[in-house]
A and B are shown apart, each in its own frame.
Chain A
Amino acid sequence: MRSFVAAFFLILLHAVALASATAQTISPGGKPLPMDEAFRLSAQRNEDGRVRLQWTIAPGYYLYQDGFGLRSDASDLPLPSLEGEAVSKNDPTFGVTTIYHDRVAATVPVSRGVKELTVSFQGCQDGGICYPPASRSVDPLTLAVSGGGGGRSGAPAMSEWVQAPAIPGPEMSQPESGGITLSRNDQGMVAGLLADGGVLFVLGSFLLFGLALAFTPCVLPMYPILGGALARQGDRLTPLRGLALSLAFVLAMSSAFALLGVVAAWSGQNLQMVLQSPLAVGAVAALFAVLALPMFGLFELQLPASWVSAVGRVGQGRRGSLASAGLLGFTSALIVGPCVTAPLAGALLHIAQTGDVRLGAASLFALGLGKGIPLIAFGTFGPAALPKTGAWMNGVRQAFGFVFLGAAIWMLSRLVPASVTMALWALLAIGTATFLGAFDTLSPDAPGSRRVGKAAGLAAALYGILLGVGAASGSGDPFRPLDRMLVAGAMIGERPAGLDFQLVEEPQDLDRQVARAGGRTTLLYVTADWCVTCAAIERSVLSDPATQQLLSGLHLVKVDVSENTMSHQELMRRLEAFGPPTMVFLDPQGREVSNTRLVGDVTRSGLADAVSRAEAGS
């Protein structure tokens, strides 16, 4: 682990060194140099009286071999052989040409009485511009070079148009680590706690952190999932059994968190993010769908016997159901609600910095337990609140069947287009409506409960229809199913303008974007499609007008790491972020302002604090 960290910093240092080395030589942002700076011509006299012409070529520029020409007074001279390293440049758009980088020279015999040597040459900025042919005069006596100036390079530029901020040409790949310097001040959460009160204090604190996070959007999906696992028990569910099952669920969840630490130590990767692959997410969606089916009594009816015994076994017998609760807990922690929180990042940082896997993993286990305590209470005391037998139990089972189907759709939404998700939600709503009795005929003497059920069912059916219409119109927001249709009408312009985040998905774009801060503080917001907390932040914090006002003076950059690709991993490595959501504040020079980084869920006031500290520190 230590060697991994060392290697990482070595790479970082190397990249920084490379950046500063090239920054001096390659013009900033790829702005083309004036011709006489790109190609510096000088003349010298050799001992044998010949004149040696030498071009010093700026890095990133080249001269064409066939672009050289020579005249003595008014007559053309054969060009003497060129000294330099000729390189063959092949490009589909301009064929093969021979070019010179760095320097090229020619030695010219000068006859008596020649008043003026004229040389012409032509070249380009690699991946930038091509210069018109240049012609320069050399006085054979004084060796003074003249010409230029009057040409295009010398003309005063009209100042109405300014050079675009730091946009290099496509081939001038800029060194990766140029623009950003991360803060090194933070001591780390685990180290701080350890210094305060030892190992037990660390573990106890993480347990409390977990408890504090127990009702955040990352953990909330686990309640219906655990509820579903319990409901599958049917009549056999006692408080003791509920305790055993929820304990299995929570222990597996905590183990998953501990495993996060071990894997991070071993590979430097956040396991949760790695598991956001379409395969894993699809498999979990399928698992939920399969778990939902027996809730409707479908297994017994339709599936082949071998299926029933294979899948059904999970739910039968004491050990089987404990194992399935464990499996659900484990997948929930890693795949269903993969959340990066401040304590999680703190523990991973501790492991990365010290190599202390045991304390890091134990802290994460404690964090998981803390998140799980309310779940255990829910699993133990919840069943007591439910009626024991009868038709009610069927209703409860069916309800959790819909919850599982909902979970399956929610997982699938990370894989399929938003309108497909909407269509699935529509189907689910209409299915729920049917089960609630929306389409059953009520007899005049039907009890109130049936009437309430039918009313709820009709409401669900109406929502389902709206969702279906929305899906057909291409909308993707289940909370505004008709926005596509309304936008054509008067609603346009009423939606808040929102924040203008620049999107970055490639490491090389990061520096370019940061370079465009233009004297402002930069907020780098690391986010992902599947990040539950990010969605919550966007809904409740970033959409708040006061927060938008606060952020409007900042250079806002969204770093999207939705996919577990090399680019996205590299982006997180560069920012030393453990995952989304992470907010990094940079001063106008691209240095991270210390003690401003926000990891995990943020509140409006927390964000406002960080912004004011970042702006004061920069």
Chain B
Amino acid sequence: MPAFSRRVALVALALFAAVPFSSGGAFAQSAKDVSREMILNDPAAPVGGNPKGDLTIVAYVDYNCPYCKETAVTLDRVAREDGKIRIVYKDWPILRPSSIDGAMMALAAQYQGKYETAHHALMGIKGRDTTRDQMRQALRAAGIDMKRLDADLKKNRGAINTLIKRNMAQGDALGFPGTPSFLVGPFRASTLDYKNFKLIIADARAKQAEMK
């Protein structure tokens, strides 16, 4: 345990080190990254649910966060039943070193069009200190082409790092204290159960209609 914070620092350092080689870079981190537009419509961020839905839910989550695992299932169900919810996934790996591994692999799966599959596979792993091996096993079991994933990860490491950095900056700018944190229309929220998701969605739609 004592080595824990140092490990975090190392992984974080590695992440930072990778960033300057990518397009944009850490120092280009601008107000644009944390703008409303980039929070809701970041072209690089994976989108789930109904991309043309009338209500957007932005989910800031971590693959080692127990409550994220609970709500991932609920949000999926709510969105499927509703049919008009657009989900924007923001991988925000802040809890554990392996959270960063998980976020990078999930985002790499996007290049084979399987972000949501990977997302749910990773959220489906029990425990709050998932190892990289457990993650790879779960991804493979979910039907992710791991060879392709590794290649995509290698090729796009810079872009993925930039996206994660941007997510991190947004989470901080939004003042979220931890994960899961959601933006549901005009509202911010954390863990919600099925009923409360429905309630907040109804409220958000009402509020949106009011503002129009």
Contact = CB atoms under 8 A, between A and B. Distances in A.
Interface of A: 30-35, 38, 64, 66, 68-71, 76-79, 91-95, 97, 118, 120, 122, 124-125, 127-133, 135, 152-153, 155-158, 160-165, 167-170, 500, 502, 506, 509, 512-513, 516
B190 A32 contact: yes
B142 interface: no
A78 B1 CA distance: 9
Contacts of A170: 191-193, 196
Given A69-B4, A130-B95, A512-B199, A164 B178 contact: no
B190 A169 contact: yes
Interface in B168-191: 171-181, 183-184, 186-191
Nearest to A160: B36
B187 A79 contact: no
Given A95-B126, A167-B192, A124 B2 contact: no
Contact of A133 (B66, B95, B189, B192): B95
B70 to A, nearest CB: 5
Contacts of B173: 155, 158
Interface residues of B, number: 49
B84 interface: no
B6 interface: yes
A157 B153 CA distance: 33
B206 interface: yes
Q: Which among A70, A130, A506 has the highest number of chain B CB atoms within 10 Å?
A: A130
Contacts of A161: 174, 183, 186-188
A129 B180 contact: yes
Contact of A94 (B69, B94, B200, B203): B69
Given A128-B67, A502-B202, A30 B186 contact: no
Interface of B: 1-6, 8, 34, 36, 62, 65-70, 94-95, 126-128, 171-181, 183-184, 186-193, 195-196, 199-200, 202-203, 206
Contact of B177 (A34, A92, A94, A133): A34
A30 B180 CA distance: 13
10 contacts: A30-B190, A69-B2, A76-B6, A77-B2, A94-B127, A120-B5, A152-B176, A157-B175, A164-B188, A502-B199
A152 B177 contact: yes
A77 B5 CA distance: 12
A24 B5 CA distance: 34
A152 B175 contact: yes
A146 to B, nearest CB: 16
Contacts of A163: 187-189
Given A94-B127, A167-B199, A167-B200, A158 B67 contact: no
Contacts of A153: 175, 177
B190 A70 contact: no
A111 B79 CA distance: 57
Given A164-B200, A164-B203, 11 more contacts: A32-B190, A66-B1, A71-B5, A95-B126, A118-B5, A130-B179, A132-B95, A158-B173, A163-B189, A167-B199, A169-B193
Contacts of A34: 177
Nearest to A506: B195
A383 to B, nearest CB: 56
B66 A164 contact: no
Given A69-B4, A152-B94, A152-B172, A33 B66 contact: no
Contacts of B203: 164-165, 516
A128 B183 contact: no
A444 B183 CA distance: 77
Nearest to A75: B2
A79 B188 contact: no
A128 B65 CA distance: 10
A120 B192 contact: no
Contacts of B187: 161-165
Given A32-B190, A94-B66, A135 B174 contact: no
Contacts of A167: 189, 192, 196, 199-200
Contacts of B66: 91, 93-94, 124, 130
Given A94-B128, A170-B196, A129 B174 contact: no
Nearest to A119: B5
Q: Which among B5, B66, B195 has the highest number of chain A CB atoms within 10 Å?
A: B5
Contact of B190 (A78, A91, A92, A128): A128
